[in-house]
């Protein structure tokens, strides 16, 4: 847990969020500034700064985050149309919150490569 991390605060219930799924390991909530009709963020409760910190100690947790992404995509009816799961790492990728999160984006046609 990082005291001043906004996503840790959401995970602790100290900042409101529209939570769509949570359990003892992860929290998923709607992005406050959605980039698509469906835009959900999935975070581990454990503070991990970015996916650059994935190692043998937390790889199973990352797999679980992606399992929850698949579950949420079903919940949000995105499977037939398709959707994107993405994580930004560091400045060049535009990571603005230094707590690892996976974006689940769907409900519109996506462009590739991303801007
Ligand atoms: P990134 O730029 O990849 O670090 O993604 C951070 C995301 O967090 C952005 O899409 C923001 O809109 C979103 N965000 C920031 N603060 C909040 C918040 N309090 N509740 C929900 N989403 C947030």
Q: Which atom of ligand 1 is nearest to the CA of 35?
A: 10
Rounded to whole angstroms, the Cα distance separating 40 from 27 reads 10
Ligand 1 proximal residues by C-beta, below 6 Å: 6, 15, 17, 29, 31-33, 41, 88, 94-97
Determine the distance separating the centroid of ligand 1 and the alpha carbon of 100, expressed in angstroms.
Answer: 11
- Is 101 known to be catalytic? yes
Pairing of strands 102-106, 26-30: unpaired
Tell me, letter by letter, the H, E, C secondary structure of the chain.
Answer: CCCCCHHHHHHHCCCCCCEEEECCCEEEEECCCCCCCEEEEEEECCCCCCHHHCCCCCHHHHHHHHHHHHHHHHHCCCCCCCEEEECCCHHHHCCCCCCCCEEEEECCCCCCCCC
pLDDT at 115: 86
Instruction: Please give the chain's pLDDT, 115 residues, in tens.
Output: 678 999 999 999 999 999 999 999 999 999 999 999 999 999 999 999 999 999 999 999 999 999 999 999 999 999 999 999 999 999 999 999 999 999 999 999 999 999 8
Residue ranges per structural domain of the chain:
6-106
CB crowding 49-70: b at 16 or more within 10 Å, else e: ebbeeeeeebeebbebbeebbe
The CATH architecture of the domain made up of 6-106 is 2-Layer Sandwich (3.30)
């Amino acid at each position: 847990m990082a005291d001043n991390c906004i996503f840790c605060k959401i995970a602790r219930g100290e900042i409101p969020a529209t939570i769509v799924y949570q359990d003892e390991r992860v929290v998923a909530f709607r992005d406050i500034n959605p980039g698509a009709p469906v835009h959900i963020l999935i975070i581990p409760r454990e503070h991990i700064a970015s996916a650059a910190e994935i190692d043998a100690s937390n790889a199973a947790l990352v797999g679980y985050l992606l399992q929850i992404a698949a579950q949420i995509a079903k919940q949000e009816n995105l499977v037939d149309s398709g959707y994107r799961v993405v994580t930004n790492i560091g400045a060049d990728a535009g990571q603005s919150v230094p707590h690892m999160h996976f974006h689940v984006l769907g409900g519109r046609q996506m462009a590739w490569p991303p801007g």
